[in-house]
Homo-oligomer: A and B are copies of this chain.
């Protein structure tokens, strides 16, 4: 297989810092590129915040930043790279410009992966001469903690690049899943949006409070889907008859429920209602405390699934 030793991370925001830390923890050499003046300081701070989670995941964290380098010049940052993970701003103009510039400096077989969640690689690679090794490797936030990476090829991506991307993410402990066609939001964010739409509807209609809705999710479907996705769940829901039995007996009821689902809008009144409820609940807890609690539970769940 292709060997990726020199990794370049473009963009040192939250996602970039998380990828950087994870790559380093996996023994890779990482160069971080970003024009921001505080590049070194902010990246190191980001990595420092993530380090306890990496340790909890079982990574050796002594000397974590020994193989970390910074390079503000794009040319110098990418010319030695075997693999790029790009996390730049999500605007078409910025990315198209970046990818054209990058192409001039890249090694011919470099694999170029973008964390983009909203701009398809067919779009941002449009102005490149050769986009065969350019595709999306979209993490679910935060990348160092959540296993999924959506691997989304563009129209010009070659099959070998897709295989290489999958292999690379597996090697660093992620769960890569190939999305066959470019579609807005890919898969995870579309599913998240579908759940959020009905959640917003139910809270805005006063059926259940925001906190109680969260409690319902984490004590039923969230727990269920962490163990088995929706199709596996319904296959088991059909008993020995499996999914055919389920669809035969409960399909009509499910389809009827679809017709009753809400179609809310994030208008002023709805946003005010949501903010009002969050002000009386989560906003009372310091952000760092809420985050720590969530991440600790996340780590415990990940470890439970490893066994």
Q: Would B146 and A220 count as touching, CB distance under 8 A? A: yes
CB-defined interface of A132-176 with B at 8 Å, one 1/0 digit per residue? 000000001100001110100000000000000000000000010
Q: Which of B197, B228, B298 contacts A294 (CB 8 A)?
A: B228
- Contact status A213-B230, CB under 8 Å: yes
Q: Nearest Cβ distance between residue A92 and chain B, in whole angstroms? A: 14
A206: which of B148, B181, B214 is its contact (CB, 8 Å)? B181
Which among B148, B194, B235, B255 is the interface contact of A282 at CB below 8 angstroms? Answer: B235
Residues of the B chain whose Cβ atoms lie less than 8 Å from the Cβ of A302 = 223
Q: Contact check, B261 vs A140: say whether CB atoms are below 8 A apart.
A: no
Closest to A217 in B: B229
Partner of A247, one of B177, B260, B266: B266
- Which residue in B211, B219, B260 is a CB contact (below 8 Å) of A147? B219
In the bound complex, CA of A300 to CA of B226 (Å)? 11
In the complex, A255 Cα to B282 Cα: how many Å?
23
Interface centre among A180, A218, A277 (most CB of B within 10 A): A218
B-chain residues with CB within 8 Å of residue A210 when the two chains form the complex? 231
| CB pair A257 B184 closer than 8 Å | yes
A202: CB under 8 A from chain B?
A: yes
A215 to chain B: which residues have CB within 8 Å? 175, 177, 229
Least CB distance from A210 to B in Å reads 5
Contact of A207 among B187, B214, B251, B271 (CB under 8 A): B187
Minimal Cβ-Cβ distance residue in B for A225: B222
Q: Which of B183, B216, B297 contacts A305 (CB 8 A)?
A: B297
Chain B residues, CB < 8 A from A211: 231
With beta carbons under 8 angstroms apart, the residue of B146, B195, B213, B242 that contacts A223 is B146
**A193 CB-CB contact with B under 8 Å:** yes
Kindly state whether residue A290 has any CB partner on chain B within 8 Å: yes
A244 at interface (Cβ–Cβ under 8 A)?
Answer: yes
Q: Identify 23 residue pairs between A and B in the complex whose beta-carbon atoms are under 8 Å apart, listed by A's number.
A: A140-B224, A147-B220, A148-B219, A179-B207, A180-B207, A183-B202, A187-B207, A190-B198, A191-B195, A193-B257, A195-B221, A195-B230, A199-B231, A214-B229, A217-B225, A225-B226, A227-B301, A228-B294, A228-B297, A231-B277, A236-B294, A247-B271, A300-B304
Using a CB–CB cutoff of 8 Å, the interface residues on chain A facing chain B are 14, 118, 140-141, 146-148, 150, 175, 177-181, 183-185, 187-199, 202-203, 205-208, 210-237, 239-240, 242-244, 247, 251-258, 260-261, 263, 265-266, 271, 274-275, 277-278, 282-283, 287, 290-291, 294, 297-298, 300-305, 307
The 9 nearest A-B residue pairs measured at CB: A214-B229, A222-B225, A304-B304, A148-B220, A217-B229, A194-B198, A227-B297, A140-B220, A300-B304
